[in-house]
Amino acid sequence: MLTKRQLVILKEIVRLYTESGQPVGSKKLLEQLPMHVSSATVRNEMVRLEDMGLIEKTHLSSGRIPSTKGYRYYLDHLVEPSSVAASDLAVIETSFDQSYHQIDQIIAQSAKILSSLTSYTAISLGPELRDSRLTGFRLVPLGDQQVMAILVTDNGAVENQIFTLPHELDSDSLEKAIRIINDQLVGLPLTDVIRRLRSDIPQLLAQYLGTPTGFLNIFGNVLKKAAQERFYVDGKMNLINPATIKNVDQLKSLYSLVDQNDDLAKLIGIPDQTIEVRLGDELTNNLLRNFSLITATYDVGDHGKGMIALLGPTSMPYSRMIGLLDVFREELAKKITDYYTHRGDE
Amino acid sequence: MLTKRQLVILKEIVRLYTESGQPVGSKKLLEQLPMHVSSATVRNEMVRLEDMGLIEKTHLSSGRIPSTKGYRYYLDHLVEPSSVAASDLAVIETSFDQSYHQIDQIIAQSAKILSSLTSYTAISLGPELRDSRLTGFRLVPLGDQQVMAILVTDNGAVENQIFTLPHELDSDSLEKAIRIINDQLVGLPLTDVIRRLRSDIPQLLAQYLGTPTGFLNIFGNVLKKAAQERFYVDGKMNLINPATIKNVDQLKSLYSLVDQNDDLAKLIGIPDQTIEVRLGDELTNNLLRNFSLITATYDVGDHGKGMIALLGPTSMPYSRMIGLLDVFREELAKKITDYYTHRGDE
DNA sequence: TTTTAGCACTTGATACATTTGAGTGCTAAC
DNA sequence: GTTAGCACTCAAATGTATCAAGTGCTAAAA
């Protein structure tokens, strides 16, 4: 168990190190401490904190930096979210102040705002699409055997893809096939749609289409795109950070990690808490040892939950970041709720 | 005027410097030269080449590297495109060997292939869209006052955007407006479409729509997207190159340059030659002083001309790159021609 | 006139020693 | 339990010597 003085010292070490990026020595520390003690006392306390594994030295006679364990302790017991600067709030509000025609635009914009506000890499995931329902599927002929398949969900997601029509499909049977899809599947959650696509739908279609595989491929493809969780990542270049990146190769592999949504999704997983910080070695990926991931979930009622996250160096200013994310979740949820209700009104 | 020996020496300096990245001294040079002279002679020649401004030293007693002027001379008089490695050719062919539903997919893929083959940043621009003609415009209702506007051109470009319908538009007048657009404008080059959108079309529409601005906005927006030249850039991270990048800030501004298609378009301009190399200080942008841009145009007959480009350090292996681009232009043109004819067949 | 051999000179790189400053741990006194 | 004082450590900066690569120049050879 830590004494009160040790808590103050640990907290101050975290703060100073985050501010300066330099190891914190007893003298610098002393200037900042509220209590009236000598540097020797501070040094003694630091030895004890080091024994507990909460801080560490970079070399024998250096100042101390928080260890990962120290950060963990700080985050679990000491961090106090700071209130958001008025200017930041203004940026959020003005950046969101435009009309959106698609839910994805809002999600993408939120990643952009967050990364520009924090100078870190921001990741934004829209409200879960899993629970969204199919509201319509149609094929629009574009000429030259090209068709655009369009799929709409009740979450406002619109997915489209362009295909060359397989030879065996004539427009009459296509019409019928589309009617079947719409009759049978509209209103169902996408997960159910996917399930039925594997069970009874092929047989139903077979009545009108000789071989329904061509059509099923088209529909399945667009459906897959729509059901896919899509991450929007912004501020990738903020990963370029002398503190965390040692060599060029590391940077390149980091980029490809961040570019591959699958890997990123796996990495982030499903956060337990509303706001959660995971430190480098708690993440599964080795490349991120010096990084830290702050995730925050937000709630848009019937439309499910979404997530925003920040990826940055372990020595982030957590109190500011957590405070910011906490406000941002609400702003974003509000904006999305607005979007849905507005859309219903008009 | 350069003597034959000076030409050989200059060419060899370029080759060795490109290979090793190190300044070339008289001794190294001597080993590679076909003729039988002493190092002192080589040194004397180098002094003359330096007097002409074709090569330069990095410090008083260093070997020589080609100056920009030297590269210019090399490119204008000495470079010989090398033939493409069989393995490279195989990569190109297998990478292109899939079916594409949109011309843009081919363009994007070509940038990807080129960058992976060269380890430089590749830029690909599809056949000029300026000359393409409008083949159709339609609005597809998605429910909840949302519509998708789709615009198709004869070049195979399909552009779509989702809008919330303005209140004042009812579906009847919309139908009529769309019919007018299709009757009046289909078949015209996009440039003409844009011109008429500013002249007589608003009046025509006014007969059916009280205030046609809402509709015109929608159509104009999609049209603008379709008429826009779109660059596909791949291998951005190859810009990370110790030879050319000094500090982190420079890298960041480079990235934002490459990310902004407008700037990039301005930068590249319209090449005069089939294959053209522009060196850093011939480019308008200061950030690119240490870079070099190789552009190659390709021709797809009636469908206009396109362009591919490589952006890399000034010390690129030009003979390989030029040889590669020369083959690639043909492969790409072939693939695109294939795409158009195939599409007509089916 | 051109080429060559030889030599003095310059420079960056490398290795090594020295100094400096920030910081520590420990001990003995308070 | 706290503090002053001191010896000690280490990274970083600075200085010094050496080496290798390469140059320019001169005078002799071709």
CA separation for the pair A308, A58 (Å, rounded) = 33
Confidence check: pLDDT of A346 > 50: no
A249-290 pLDDT per residue, tens: 778 888 888 888 778 888 887 777 899 999 988 888 888 888
Residues 6+ apart with CB under 8 A from B136: A142, A143, B150, B151, B152, B182, B186
**In a 3-state reduction of DSSP, which class is residue A197?**
helix
Residues 6+ apart with CB under 8 A from A180: A201, A204, A205, A208
Residue B63 Cβ < 7 Å to strand D: yes
A5: nt with nearest C1' to CA: D1
Q: What is the CB neighbour count within 10 angstroms for residue B297? A: 19
Residue A185 confidence (pLDDT): 93
Q: Measuring CA to CA, how many Å separate B304 from each of B133, B155, B273?
A: 12, 9, 16
Residue B20 Cβ < 7 Å to strand D: no
Band of pLDDT at residue A77, cut at 50, 70 and 90: very high
Residue B344 confidence (pLDDT): 53
Contacts of B338 in chain A (CB under 8 A): none
Domain that holds residue A30: 4-77
Asked if residue B275 and residue B245 are part of one domain, the reply reads yes
The CATH number of the domain holding residue A198 is 3.30.390.60
Last residue of a domain, one of B193, B227, B261: B227
Residue A344 confidence (pLDDT): 53
Asked if residue A286 and residue A238 are part of one domain, the reply reads yes
Count of domains for chain A: 3
Distance of CA A235 to the CA centre of its chain: 12
The CATH number of the domain holding residue A117 is 3.30.450.40
Contacts of A142 in chain B (CB under 8 A): 136, 150, 152, 158
Asked if residue B152 and residue B12 are part of one domain, the reply reads no
Asked if residue A121 and residue A248 are part of one domain, the reply reads yes
Residue A286 confidence (pLDDT): 84
Residue B129 confidence (pLDDT): 63
CA separation for the pair A263, A272 (Å, rounded) = 19
Instruction: Write out the residues of chain A at the interface with chain B, using a CB-CB cutoff of 8 A.
Output: 99, 101-102, 135-136, 138, 140, 142-146, 148, 150, 152, 156, 158, 160-165, 167, 237, 240, 242, 248, 251-252, 255, 343-344, 346
CA separation for the pair B45, B48 (Å, rounded) = 5
The token duo for A95 is 């950046």
Best of A146, A159, A170 to disrupt the B interface (most B CBs within 10 Å) is A146
Q: Measuring CA to CA, how many Å separate A294 from each of A313, A314, B290?
A: 11, 10, 38
Asked if residue B303 and residue B242 are part of one domain, the reply reads yes
A31-61 pLDDT per residue, tens: 889 888 999 999 999 999 999 999 999 998 8
Q: How far is the CA of A315 from the C1' of D2 (A)?
A: 33
Residue A130 confidence (pLDDT): 58
CA separation for the pair B308, B328 (Å, rounded) = 9
Asked if residue B71 and residue B11 are part of one domain, the reply reads yes
Query: What is the average pLDDT across A89-115?
Result: 94
Higher pLDDT, A231 or A17: A17
Pairing of strands B64-66, B55-57: antiparallel
Asked if residue B236 and residue B222 are part of one domain, the reply reads no
Instruction: Write out the residues of chain B at the interface with chain A, using a CB-CB cutoff of 8 A.
Output: 99, 101-102, 135-136, 138, 140, 142-146, 148, 150, 152, 156, 158, 160-165, 167, 237, 240, 242, 248, 251-252, 255-256, 343-344, 346
DSSP-derived secondary structure letter, B144? T
A138-174 in b/e burial notation, b at 16+ Cβ within 10 A?
bbbebebbbbbbbbbbbbbbbbbbbbbbeeebeeebb
Asked if residue B141 and residue B110 are part of one domain, the reply reads no
CA separation for the pair B332, B343 (Å, rounded) = 16
Asked if residue A310 and residue A213 are part of one domain, the reply reads no
pLDDT by residue, tens only, chain B of 346 residues: 899 999 999 999 999 999 999 999 999 999 899 888 999 999 999 999 999 999 999 999 899 999 999 999 999 999 999 999 999 999 999 999 998 888 899 999 999 999 999 999 999 998 876 578 899 998 998 877 888 999 998 877 899 999 888 776 777 888 888 998 999 999 999 889 999 998 888 988 888 777 778 888 889 999 988 887 778 999 988 888 766 776 777 778 888 888 887 788 888 887 778 999 999 888 888 888 889 999 999 998 888 889 999 999 999 999 999 999 999 999 999 999 998 887 654 4
Residue B177: its H or E element: helix B171-185
**In a 3-state reduction of DSSP, which class is residue A291?**
strand
Asked if residue A192 and residue A173 are part of one domain, the reply reads yes
Query: What is the average pLDDT across A156-185?
Result: 85
Residue B346 confidence (pLDDT): 40
DSSP B45-91: HHHHHHHTTSEEESSTTS-EEE-HHHHHHIIIII--PPPPPHHHHHH
Last residue of a domain, one of A227, A245, A265: A227
Last residue of a domain, one of A198, A227, A256: A227
**Residue-level length of chain B:** 346
Asked if residue B142 and residue B48 are part of one domain, the reply reads no
Which burial class, exposed, middle or buried, applies to A263 when counting CB atoms under 10 A from its CB (0-12, 13-18, 19+)?
A: middle
Asked if residue B163 and residue B99 are part of one domain, the reply reads no
Contacts of B102 in chain A (CB under 8 A): 162
Residue A23 Cβ < 7 Å to strand C: yes
